Structure 1
Amino acid sequence: MYAQIAILQPLSAALQSPAWTSLNRPARRHFVGGFLLEAEALAHFNQLLVRLHHFPLDCDQLATASRELGRSVDGQRPASIEQRLQLASAVDRMITDATWQPASEAVEPARVVMDYVHGDHDLIPDSVPLVGRLDDAILIDAAWPQLAGEVDCYLDYCRLRAIEAGLRGREVGGFAFTREHWQQARRAEAGLIAHCRRVGEDSYLPSPAAACFRVY
């Protein structure tokens, strides 16, 4: 599942601390892939980061990160950005699936991220080579601690809904399958797994009878 990706490749060390530019590095860079970052757009972006309980960033951090990520990737979008866009896709599915009722604490961060991803007022234009989605990736990174558990639940819901559809011989979406149905299916699946483990550890034969068998 997306929430269980073993290791998310880091975006850039330049983005890891709000004090990064204070360490004898003047905030002088303002270009990302040749695009000049606008102060108003950065202020709006930082407001979103704060709403997601993340510290704000400055132009120098973003420009330095873009230079690091755009280095030696053979014309391909950096894997660290691509991973986070996959997470964004999962979040999008979760909040647009009419049959799923997201936990209340996940709704706000999911909306913040997806409104930005689908909006027209990017901090960094998507057309910028290699790092045009860096701003989207940063927002996903900021929101992920609040979204990971709920996205994991939703993807498991999709898995069990697909199994239920197969058992019924129906199309996914052709029958009622709510969050409550998913929870019931999870409990049933957990019970079946526990039963199979017990059977695997035990014998159907009483222990005295086992002594009657010999291998020659």
Structure 2
Amino acid sequence: MYAQIATLNPLPAALQSPAWAGSRHPNRRRHMGDFLIRAEALAHFNQLLARLQHFPLDRDQLATASRELAGTASPTRSASIHQRLQLADAVERMVGDTAWQPADEVIAPARMVMDYVHGRHTLITGSLPPVKRLDDAILVEAAWPQLAGEVDSYLDFCRLRAIEAELRGCAVGQLNFARADWLQGRHAEAGLIAHCRQVGESSYLPTPATRSFRVY
């Protein structure tokens, strides 16, 4: 579905593995273009990553990632960031929707993503076009293993809620539709799909009857 990271354009390869940092010179490069990566800002960012069970990053990794993003002419250089910001928007919609009750375990990582995306204490400041909001994208990807299932459920909830509102001839905002209604709707939908599949695999034509008489 929409919330699967595997279907998105990948972030730069330099950010994908903790082993990458150890094989190079983590203290050599400290700049992303003309922007100095501040040690204290990176330390704070790595604390957030640790809370999401994600490995820390170093300045050399970020510098290399920025060069990769700036050095390609492909439009996917910004698509990978933009796609993860769309996921962040989905998280914000989910948390802000009073009709949806998020599972307890996703509230903390969801709030962390929202606070960082909208906060002032960001790792990458300014408006560097190739890498603008790369730190937001990194944090979203780090949080996604904990959020993906719940966001998928929420998006499906929105789908069924819209269908129900259309059937009742009212606006979505006027419909009293909660998580329990979504679960009930999913169950009914699954039953309908199973029935249609069964009908498609069978025939309504009767089995030829066994003759009950003999011709002598």
TM-score w.r.t. length of structure 1: 0.90
1:92 matched to 2:92? The reply is yes
Aligned twin of 1:18: 18
Give secondary structure in 2 for the equivalent of 1:2: coil
Aligned twin of 2:141: 141
Give secondary structure in 2 for the equivalent of 1:184: helix
Whether the 8 Å contact between 2:26 and 2:61 is mirrored in structure 1 is: no
Q: Matched residue pairs, number?
A: 209
Runs of 4+ with deviation above 3 angstroms: 73-77
Aligned twin of 2:193: 193
Identity among equivalent pairs (%): 69
Aligned twin of 2:38: 38
Bigger mean CA offset, 178-187 vs 37-46: 37-46
Q: Residue type matched to 1:94 in 2? A: M
- The separation in 1 between residues aligned to 2:129 and 2:75, in whole angstroms, is 8
Residues 102 and 126 (structure 1), Cα distance of their counterparts in 2 relative to 1, 3 Å cut:
farther
1:52 matched to 2:42? The reply is no
Aligned twin of 1:212: none
Q: Deviations over 1:112-137 (max 9, x none)?
A: 11100011121102511121111001
For residue 17 of structure 1, report the CA deviation from its aligned partner. Answer: 2.3
Aligned twin of 1:83: 83
Aligned twin of 2:208: 208
- The separation in 2 between residues aligned to 1:3 and 1:176, in whole angstroms, is 25
Give secondary structure in 2 for the equivalent of 1:28: coil
Q: Residue type matched to 1:93 in 2? A: R
CA root-mean-square deviation: 1.8
- The separation in 2 between residues aligned to 1:68 and 1:51, in whole angstroms, is 27
Alignment of 1:122-201 (within 5 A): 122-125=122-125, 127-201=127-201
For residue 67 of structure 1, report the CA deviation from its aligned partner. Answer: 0.8
Q: Residue type matched to 1:177 in 2? A: F
Give secondary structure in 2 for the equivalent of 1:40: helix
For residue 14 of structure 1, report the CA deviation from its aligned partner. Answer: 1.3
Alignment of 1:91-110 (within 5 A): 91-110=91-110
Gap regions ≥5 residues in structure 1 = 210-216
Aligned twin of 1:29: 29
- The separation in 2 between residues aligned to 1:115 and 1:164, in whole angstroms, is 33
TM-score w.r.t. length of structure 2: 0.90
